Amino acid sequence: MQLAGMASNRGRNLLHMADTAPGGATFSVIISNEEGAPVIESATERGIPTEVVERDPEETREEHEQRIVDRLESYDVDLICLDGYMRILTETFLDATPTTLNVHPSLLPSFPGMDAHEQVLEAGVSVTGCTVHVVDETVDGGPIVTQEPVPVYEGDDTGDLKERVLQEAEFSAYPRAVKWFVENRVTVDDGAVSVDGDGAGQFPARRFGSDDRGRELRYGENPHQEAAVYVDTGSSAASVVDADQLNEGAKALSYNNYNDADAALSLISEFDDPAAAVIKHTNPAGCATGDSLAAAYDDALSTDPMSAFGGIVALNRECDAATAEEITNSFKEVVVAPGYTDAALDVLFGKDNLRVLDVGSEADLSVGTDPLVESDLVGGRLVQERDTQSITPDDLEVVTERKPTDAQLGTMCFAWRTIKHVKSNAILLADGTETVGVGMGQVSRVDAVRLAAMKADEHAEGKDSEGAVMASDAFFPFPDGIEEAADAGIEAVVQPGGSVNDEDVIAAANDRDLAMAFTGQRAFKH
């Protein structure tokens, strides 16, 4: 798509679009009505043809616009973009040219016309932004294509506001609108604009968010990084962000504490039976369910007590005194639970700087977590559905000559729920409903097997890899991972399947008398 730009001054939006080419759109010409307008020099530096069409004193608006129309006839133009073009256009121009867009520095219909930023500050509003609209003969009254909000902060002046609106609103909204036109998604009909796909849904064409700063943190991941935590007040899920810290005298949570506590809470929310998990660097050092919360915690901790040192504990039941006693027997940073008995609090408060977080009732955990997860990128954000898969024995496809026992099938299901929360590449060893060894974050799957087996045999207390069930978050590309598992004494494997070498992997399992089942879906977590 070929664009024509029109500006009276700097034309920063036009230059930004020239540099970014939204949807592949390029400028065939930039026109100014002011001799010496900075946009002309900037456009020339970018190799964009320019025209200057000033209005003569004796000339009517219509006559001036006709001269611009005549100049435009020399260029291929599919869409016209105004940027600070200080003239109201008439039907002489609008009827003779393609659709014309303008960006206005406010959320129309509020604050139209000149001095929008001054009007915003005088009105005392907390949110402003910009509006991209189709130009008609009214002042900022054409049909709206898109808008982008930005906050107004206490102490802002017009300069602060102008720059924020430009950088955070106009530089997003204007290219978005142009890209929609390039994609033929915009229909302008009888004073109304519609955009294909710009509707509600899980992944709408536009996403807006408004988070309030909860608190500034001592530092980020490292002491030289500043940090803060923001609160999504629209979320109804149980969350560590707005959890009550019951021992107010203890130091506040750090950036890393929040990350780990969130990961721990997400993991134990998987289970209906009493469950406990110990998290270190967002990975489970151990996880288990049991007949009691204290038993579950003991089994989780015994998976890797060395790695659990200084970790985060999460519980899916009200914490009782017996569990609290177990927790305080070794150094932990944070405990997260849906409530505490008074006796448990007496025990936990006896540990200096053990942060005690209450995330609400057990019923709150059953509500589930936010349906989407997000990850920031430089210049954007990834958004995906949360991995809520949960398998039963009936979902498993047994592919080996040896069949898993009913107990092994149950362990496979427990292991699959847990491995979803281990960083890939991930291998998890389990026995019953407790972890035995965890190999996480390896670039080689066979190395993840070796790591899990090593941890089980060298770090676990009262358990090892002999007779364990192994879960893999993705398929085995070669038989070597299965061979390593057999050497470690593992007797059953659950994995997604789907490798081009599945037959070789199955053959290796049969040769070593392992039972193996496929889930048909992987469980990556990066």
Q: Which helix (H) or strand (E) holds 438?
A: strand 434-439
State how far the Cα of 196 lies from the Cα of 186, in Å rounded to an integer: 7
CA 341 to chain centre: 35
Contact assessment for residue 316 and residue 297, using Cβ atoms and an 8 Å cutoff: no
> Look-up: residue for tokens 């989780």?
300
Q: Which helix (H) or strand (E) holds 486?
A: helix 480-487
149 three-class SS: strand
Q: What sign has the CA pseudo-torsion 29, 32, 36, 38?
A: negative
**DSSP code per residue over 325-339:** HHHTTS-EEEEEES-
Pairing state between β 380-385 and 372-377: antiparallel
What is the 3-class SS of 185-254, one letter each residue?
A: CEEEECCEEEECCCCCCCCCCCCCCCCEEEEEECCCCCCCCCEEEEECCCCCCCCCCCCEECCCCCCCCC
Q: Is 281 assigned a catalytic role?
A: no
The answer for residues whose C-beta is within 8 angstroms of residue 370's C-beta and 6 or more apart is 235, 237, 386
Name the active-site residue from 64, 104, 117, 421. Answer: 104
- List helix spans (H) across 21-103: 38-45, 61-72, 91-94
Give the tokens for residue 139. 């002042």
Catalytic residues, which ones?
A: 104
